[in-house]
Structure formats: structure tokens, C-alpha cells
Structure 1
Amino acid sequence: MISDRKLEHLILCASCDVEYRKKTGFEDIEIVHRAIPEINKEKIDISLDFLGRELSSPVMISAITGGHPASMKINRELARAAEKLGIALGLGSQRAGVEHPELEGTYTIAREEAPSAMLIGNIGSSHIEYAERAVEMIDADALAVHLNPLQESIQPGGDVDSSGALESISAIVESVDVPVMVKETGAGICSEDAIELESCGVSAIDVAGAGGTSWAAVETYRADDRYLGELFWDWGIPTAASTVEVVESVSIPVIASGGIRSGIDAAKAISLGAEMVGIALPVLEAAGHGHREVIKVIEGFNEALRTAMYLAGAETLDDLKKSPVIITGHTGEWLNQRGFETKKYARRS
């Protein structure tokens, strides 16, 4: 049953080593330090407009859970934190709530606790018929369509037929009256796919790159035969490289997620052109201790982001996107081989 699988996923993410063994690529990114920032750190502004909503910070809580009674507490605490902080909150796949109305409460709790926060719904790319109901269920401000071919490939009995996915995404865009964003679930999005997604009419792309939670790893723990999961544990495009691939290829907003573990990572992602950054695992454990702990985690991210901006001489997020950045190592090699000019990032002023 879907609900039981949701609980298994939640337990595994909270208690097992499910992260990529390879890095996000942000270790290859350096923002050029300014010894004379010529700005007042106290006046740094990290607020932004995202898909028509005013947000206090570019740090959003990415989709984590829903669809099992145990997830209600987590979504309640995450929603309380989002409401208090004025940030965006993404919910887990709503398929379980649509197919089993008795589980709707595990999602609707978010809107009950966060009446004014930006809530992002979530469905799979093949679930066109669920789109309207998913939006209505939580009075969503946007709808995320998740892509998870790697997870489905490892998951026992997973759906490995992606035929017509782009057509389905276009139909979802047409079927709802809120912005639709597309997100991977931990293996990243390449330039070619980003271009196709923009042509489908989506309003934003969340790269959800490799380096954070590996859903191949999660499914490895659930499988009787762990060979395939172990083999593909680290499959995917590292988050930093995926961020540049997508930013360079589309004109719609890009969210960087997948292994964002500090405000410095967030600053690096935004300096590469991302509008927002998403975090999940860092707040999952905190949510178990209540919304105040979630707030503490995100405030820590925000403070580190402001500090990095100060040291880069960036008073706004737009300024940070113009700051010179050095791209080295595996990330630089990846991008250069893929035809992206990395030196232009270093020459910005």
C-alpha cells in the first residue's frame, strides 16, 4: 500500500545513511571574497518575489512527506515554521491523499497551520487526473510535478514507463490555474531536459541534483536484492553542475536543491543563477522536535547566507548573482566538457 511505503521512506530517511557518497559539486565553487565589501551587513535583503509570491528568504522547505498518519505531525511542524518565517513549503506526493481521502488530513494540515504561506503541491508526471484535486486539497499556490526515473528503476515494482511524460506535463500545465514547476528527486536535470520542460509551459524548474538524499539508496534498503541499488546509489548530475546546466538553458526561475547543507551552499547556488534553494533532510530531524527547531535550522541558513553575501559585497540576491565566482575541479571539467563557458562567471563584476 502507498501509505505503508511512505512510512518506510520516512523512517529510512530519518534513521539510515541514504545520502550520496559523491559530492554536490559546491566544493568546487568559490565566491570571490571582497576585503572591502562597501555595504552594511545589517541592510542586506534576502527577500524575493517567486512565482508571484513575496517570500522573506530564498530558502524553501522541499517536499518531504504526506500520505501516512505519521507524517501529519511533520507537516504540521514544517507548516508552522513556514508560516512564521514567511517562506515556501513543498509537500510530498499527493497521490495517496487523492486515492485515499482518509489520508487527506496529512496534507491539509499544512494549509490549516500556514494560512498565508506559499504551499507547493506535488504529483507525478503521469497523474494528469490528480492535478486539480491536488491543488484544491491544500489551496496550493503552485504545483510541483516530480520526476523520479532512478527511484522507480530501483523500487520493487516501480513504474519504468516514461513514454509521453512531456505530453503529460503539458496537459497538467493546461489543467490547473496555478504555476506548475517540475522537480527531479535527487538525480538532477540536464540542459536538454530543461529546454524541453520550458517548452511544455512550466513556470520553474527544481534541479534536485545528486549529492543529497539518494532515492536509489532509500530503495536499496527496501529491496530483497540490493545489487542494483548499490550499483546506482551515486547515479546522477551533481547539484552544482545541474544548476548551471539549467540556468544557462532556460529563462524561467531555477531552484537548486539536492545536498544544500548550509547557507554557504545556498549562496553558491544563487551565485550560479538559482532563484531559490530547497532543503529537506536538514529539517526532517528538526521537525520531529517541533517547529521551533525547524525555525532554528532555517534561521541558521539565512544568517550564513547573509554573511556570505556581505563577504561578497552583495546587498541583494540579484547582486549575489552578479558576484564573480570561480568554478574548479570536477564541476568545472563537467561544465566545460558539456560546452558551458565557466570563465565568464569569474569575470563578472
Structure 2
Amino acid sequence: MTLTSNRKLEHIDIVRRGGVEPERSTLLEYVRIVHRSLPEVDLDGIDLSVEFCGHELGAPLIITGMTGGHPDAEPINAAIAKAAEKFNIAMGVGSQRAALEDPSLIHTFSVVRERAPHAFIVANLGGAQLVKGYGVKEALKAIEMIRADAIAIHLNVGQELFQDEGDTRFEGILQIAGELADELAVPVIVKEVGTGLSAEDVSLLRSIGVKCFDVAGLGGTNWIKIETLRSRAKHGYPLRDPGSIAEQWGNPTAVSIVEARSAAPDAYIIGSGGLRDGLDVAKAIALGADIGGFAAPALRALSSGQEGLERYLADVLYQLKSVLVMTGARRPHDLWSASVTVWGELMEELKVRNVDVTSYLNSRVMTLLWRRRSSGI
């Protein structure tokens, strides 16, 4: 096995053990969707389907890119893919770098399409690899490997900086991301990995043609913390000690969703980073995301096997349906016009970031109308 492949398994083991969330939260606790006692909608009248990147999903969910590239990761990807197919939700794979380096590992990724022939599947390459020579050729190989409907370019600056073997060259990612968005036939999704996209970066990326974003904000699985734990297990201490950065650094998920939507009103946005249940998904959508995403909860649910994962997803979907009923909404994007209150630290953060919260909340429905009139990706 290559170093890249072995690292994949170490990451899985650390996430399964838990304790990888930072002290700082998503700030979604400062969001409330107003309850309606007269919703005038029946549970059976709820339709969870949404359009995302030109595809129809059965529900506004994605199990975001997590693993692959090691033989032990293959059954994990297979199980998640089977669940994605059953519920008609989206799924991403982990970085495909390992399989590009070692073709014997391709099936740890391609098994996803075998188990999910109709699901929306997202390929994955790292931004740090783009500046080391990866480009359209490698992206096409990653897409072909799993017959992907889109490809994610993950930005993991913090993880790379504190990983023992991390790549610390980042200059040039923006230009290459633009080339991929221009030349690839499938959508390019630029995604963070737990430290959150900012308005500044979303604006830059949108200006070069990127139309899809996964904010992956602070408050969920923290890859700086994971690499610190991994290094400590190997050496007895972290080779690159992050100090308080591991607990404090990043843009909280709730802030990232609002900033991404403000910076790119016409974009497709995945709200992820610390989402754990249907209410979290509803809050992410109410703030402006198209769909909600998570990874670690799916991995942990798999500790109870396929049944455990599917039960978890069924619970999340029922919780989301319940929120829609209690809001008087019939479809997920009706939450863009639902009454929402924002307060506390989230309100203060947004004010400092020059977001007029009242105006922003009032503008969400205009984004939906704009989307419906557009020709799509």
C-alpha cells in the first residue's frame, strides 16, 4: 500500500473513534425556524425532491466525500452507495488521488457506481494536487473512474499545513479550478473540508465560472484536529503542533452558508459541517443552502451495519419532513421563504461581515425564482 492509501485507513479509524469536533460550534444553534400551529399541510403532502446541478434528487441530502483508496474502505463506499441509491440522495467519494497513483485501488471507488447506478455521484480531487501538476487529464480520469455526475475540488489548507506529510503549496489553485470549470462537461463543486468557505473566496471562484459550492464549515469534523491526533499517535507529540488553531480556526457553518449565498446568489450550495439531524438540514436550507450534507454521522451509523445507516437516513428524512409540516412548507426550498430568526453570536458575526441579516433573509425567495427562470448549469 502507498503512503496515501494507508493514510486513508488511519483517517477512518480516527473519525470512528470520535472526539474530532472543535470547541467552536456551527452557530446553527442561533437559528430558529418559526413554528406554525396552523400549517395547512399534511405529512403525506410533503415532497422532499429537489433539483440540484441539473439532477433531480429524492431528498436534499448528500453524504459528502469521505473515503476510498484502501481495500478496507471499499465496503464503506459500497454501503453508502447502496443507501444513496435507495433514498435517491447524492454521494461523494473521498480524494481519488490514491487510485490515480495505484490503479489496483480503483475498485474501492468504482464500486460506488456499481451499487448506485442512478444516484448523483461526485468525484473528488484535492486542490493541493492541482498545483503539483493535476489538471483536466486527471480530473477526467477521476470522473470516468466512477462515472461521476460532478467533481469536487476540495480545499484543505488547514489539514495540509498540519499533516505530517502535508503539501504546503497553494498558489495557482484558483486558475486551475477555473480551467476545470471551463473545460469539464460535468459541474465542478469547490468544497471546503471543515474550516468553511468565505464570501471572498466564493466571489473569486464564481467570477471564474464555478457555480457549485460545499461550504463545509467549522463545527463538524475538524481535519486539523484529526491530523494532530494522527501525528501524536505516531510520534507521541504532533510534528506540527497547531496550538489553539485546532479548536478555534475557521468560518462557522451558519456564517459560511449565508456568505456563500450572498456572494453567489445563482449558485448551487451544499450546507455542510456539523449537520447531524433533520433539523440541522432544515436550518442549513432555511439559511440559503440548496441541500444539506454530512459524512461522519454516516460512517458512525455504519457501525450498526447497512441497516444502521439506512435507519439513520430514514430518521433524518422523517425529521426534515416534520420540520416542513411544522413550518407550513410543502417542499424543502419553501424554507427559503419561511420565517426565520437569527440572534446571538451568529447575528454579531454576520453584522461584522457586513451582512444585513433582515435584507438577506428577505432575498432568499428571489434566489429561488431566479434559479427557476435560469437554464441551469
Match of 2:10 among 8, 11, 27: 8
CA deviation digits over 1:217-276, x for unaligned, max 9?
A: 100112244372342112101100110010111021111000001100111110111001
Q: Quote the Cα distance in structure 2 between the aligned partners of 1:332 and 1:259.
A: 19
Q: Quote the Cα distance in structure 1 between the aligned partners of 2:214 and 2:329.
A: 24
The aligned residue for residue 176 of structure 2 is 168
Q: Quote the Cα distance in structure 2 between the aligned partners of 1:325 and 1:344.
A: 12
The aligned residue for residue 369 of structure 2 is none
Q: Quote the Cα distance in structure 1 between the aligned partners of 2:244 and 2:23.
A: 12
Matched, 1:242 2:250: no
The aligned residue for residue 78 of structure 1 is 80
CA deviation digits over 1:120-162, x for unaligned, max 9?
A: 0000121314101000000000000000000011111311111
AA partner of residue 47 (structure 1): S
Q: Give the 3-state SS of the residue equivalent to 1:144 in structure 2.
A: strand
Would you identify which runs of 4 or more consecutive aligned residues in structure 1 move more than 4 Å? 345-349
The aligned residue for residue 306 of structure 2 is 291
Q: Is the 8 A contact 1:74 1:288 kept in 2?
A: no
| Structure 1 gaps, min length 5 | none
Match of 1:150 among 142, 147, 158: 158
TM-score (norm 2): 0.90
Q: Give the 3-state SS of the residue equivalent to 2:56 in structure 1.
A: strand
Q: Quote the Cα distance in structure 2 between the aligned partners of 1:49 and 1:333.
A: 33
Greater share of residues in helix: 2
Q: Is the 8 A contact 2:217 2:256 kept in 1?
A: yes
Q: 1:90: how far off?
A: 0.4
The aligned residue for residue 334 of structure 1 is 349
Match of 1:282 among 293, 297, 318: 297
The aligned residue for residue 308 of structure 1 is 323
Q: Give the 3-state SS of the residue equivalent to 2:246 in structure 1.
A: coil
Q: Is the 8 A contact 1:270 1:317 kept in 2?
A: yes
AA partner of residue 168 (structure 1): I
Match of 2:281 among 250, 266, 287: 266
Q: Give the 3-state SS of the residue equivalent to 1:229 in structure 2.
A: coil
TM-score (norm 1): 0.97
The aligned residue for residue 233 of structure 1 is 246
| Structure 2 gaps, min length 5 | 366-377
Q: 1:346: how far off?
A: 6.4
Q: Is the 8 A contact 1:131 1:175 kept in 2?
A: no
Q: Quote the Cα distance in structure 1 between the aligned partners of 2:332 and 2:75.
A: 33
Q: Is the 8 A contact 1:324 1:347 kept in 2?
A: no
Q: 1:189 to 1:346 in 2, by over 3 A?
A: closer
Match of 2:336 among 300, 321, 324: 321
The aligned residue for residue 60 of structure 1 is 62
Query: Identity over the aligned pairs, expressed in percent?
Result: 40
AA partner of residue 122 (structure 2): I
Q: Is the 8 A contact 1:64 1:92 kept in 2?
A: yes
Q: Which moved more, 1:286-295 or 1:122-131?
A: 286-295
Q: 1:317: how far off?
A: 1.7
Count of residue pairs brought into register by the alignment: 349
1:27-66 to structure 2, matched below 5 A, reads 27-66=29-68
Q: Is the 8 A contact 2:287 2:361 kept in 1?
A: no
Q: Which moved more, 1:34-43 or 1:100-109?
A: 34-43
Q: 1:76: how far off?
A: 0.6
